[in-house]
Amino acid sequence: MHGETSQKQQNRISEKNTSSESEEADSIKQSIGEGEINPEQWASIQKDCITNISFEDFLDVDNELQMCGTMTDKEIVADIHAEICDEEKEELDQQDNGKFTLKEAEKAVELYRSFLESIESIVTKSFGAIATSEKNCVVAKRFCEMANFN
């Protein structure tokens, strides 16, 4: 009977310790959630951590962090320039460095001709060069058709 009483007392003590530790953990969690951590609680938290950060360093960790601000014109231009450069680089990466097909060349010549027509001050020589390029595309197309036919 004496052994049973001793065991019951040990269980109660163990339950109190577990309950006490649980209450302390809940207290710490609640304090952290409310932003009211104190140095004593910090020591309790820190014993479970790998790093040794002081309480003051913990509190001051984000003091120099800029939360908002006004960008200068230089910063805005630099950001836009960086975005444009990234887009251009991405486009170049996507392009195939191989040869162009005849159909792609014809489309490019047609696009270039349309561009030149949209500019009023283009000299007749430019249109002559475009016409020659178009004729070369037609000749190349016929040659390819003949080569594929045989």
Rounded CA separation 27/42 (Å): 12
Domain boundaries, given as residue ranges, for the chain: 103-149
Question: Checking phi first, is residue 35 left (phi over 0); if not, alpha (psi -120 to 50) or beta?
Answer: left
pLDDT in tens, 81-137: 888 888 877 777 666 566 778 888 888 888 887 887 777 666 666 667 777 888 888
Question: 113, exposed or middle or buried, with CB in 10 Å at 0-12, 13-18, 19+?
Answer: middle
Residue in the block written with tokens 């230089």: 74
Q: Are the C-beta atoms of residues 58 and 42 closer than 8 Å to each other?
A: yes
What's the CA angle centered on 90, arms 77 and 72, to 5 degrees?
10
What is the model's pTM? 0.24
**Burial of residue 42, with CB atoms counted within 10 A of its CB: 0-12 exposed, 13-18 middle, 19 or more buried:** buried
